[in-house]
Amino acid sequence: MLKNFLSGNFRLKTDQLFEGLTAEEHESLMGSGVTHLYSKGEIIFREGGIPTGIFYVLSGRVKKYKATAKGGEQIFYLCSEGELLGYHALLGEEFYPDSAATIENSQITFIPKDNFLKVLRNSTELSNTLLKALGHEFSLFINSITNLATKSVRERLAFNLLILDEKFKSSVQPGIPSDINLSRTDLANMVGTAKETLVRLLQEFKRAGLIEKTDKMIRIIDRKGVIKEANLMGLNPRKM
């Protein structure tokens, strides 16, 4: 199904959006922003809301999710440092199609709509990079939907653990396994299963020597084994 699993395939590459801006453009954009400190669990925007700007994640992590018919959540992406939130709804002049909330204490800058669009109109570099990011986001969502529709719960858990291992990687110690600090409820909502099923499968993974875990943390200790559980066809584990 997925011939190549690369961590970059499951990240919205907005962390490079501002690299091509001139100093003046960067100042016009970020200088107009207002930075807020968000506590864990705070809502940044809600599905159906009207976008009045974009959000730039300076630090922390944010979950993007859709509300389910039963009042739950389906988490489809985690944003981390250097990524943008809310820009696709703003560009499409639409209501927010999803919601966003912090999963840990985060520092996020709000950039007003007028300032963002002014720089966008004058910067070919930003326009081109943003188009690539939008295309990348579309591919990401298609992969997520395919994954949810075709894989078993066990395979989806292994698949998402591999993605989260990349999202929680430390830039200071990139060579060591990540400490995945995500609540069991959020992980279950990301995998698309009941919390009870998730807890049982995590225990099975632990007994099989695939992961270490505490009440708050999960760490992959047998990456090749998790890749096998995820049933990623055509994958070379040495490249993971």
Question: Which backbone phi and psi does 167 adopt, to 5 degrees?
Answer: -65, -30
Please check whether residue 226 is in contact with residue 220, taking contact to mean a CB–CB distance below 8 angstroms. yes
**Same domain (yes/no): 136, 167:** no
Which domain-ending residue is among 146, 171, 206?
A: 146
**Same domain (yes/no): 36, 101:** yes
Span 190-221, pLDDT tens digits: 999 999 999 999 999 999 999 999 988 999 99
When pLDDT is averaged across residues 88-109 and rounded to a whole number, the result is 95
Q: Which domain holds residue 199?
A: 152-239
**Same domain (yes/no): 116, 199:** no
**Same domain (yes/no): 28, 136:** yes
Examine residue 1 and state whether it is found in any structural domain, yes or no. no
Q: Any alpha helices (H) in 74-207, and if so which ranges?
A: 87-91, 113-122, 124-150, 153-167, 184-191, 195-207
pLDDT at 109: 96
Which domain-ending residue is among 122, 146, 170?
A: 146
Specify the 3-state DSSP secondary structure of 34: strand
Examine residue 197 and state whether it is found in any structural domain, yes or no. yes
Q: Is the predicted pLDDT of residue 3 greater than 60, yes or no? A: no
**Domain CATH number, residue 231:** 1.10.10.10
Which domain-ending residue is among 146, 167, 193?
A: 146
When pLDDT is averaged across residues 107-126 and rounded to a whole number, the result is 92
When pLDDT is averaged across residues 44-56 and rounded to a whole number, the result is 96
| Bridging pattern class, strands 34-38 and 106-112 | antiparallel
**Same domain (yes/no): 86, 37:** yes
* pTM, entire model: 0.84
Span 141-181, pLDDT tens digits: 777 788 778 899 999 999 999 989 988 886 556 667 789 99
**Average pLDDT value for the chain:** 86
**Same domain (yes/no): 83, 34:** yes
**Same domain (yes/no): 167, 49:** no
Examine residue 2 and state whether it is found in any structural domain, yes or no. no
- The answer for residues whose C-beta is within 8 angstroms of residue 130's C-beta and 6 or more apart is 17, 87, 91, 120
pLDDT at 175: 65
Q: Is the predicted pLDDT of residue 7 greater than 70, yes or no? A: no
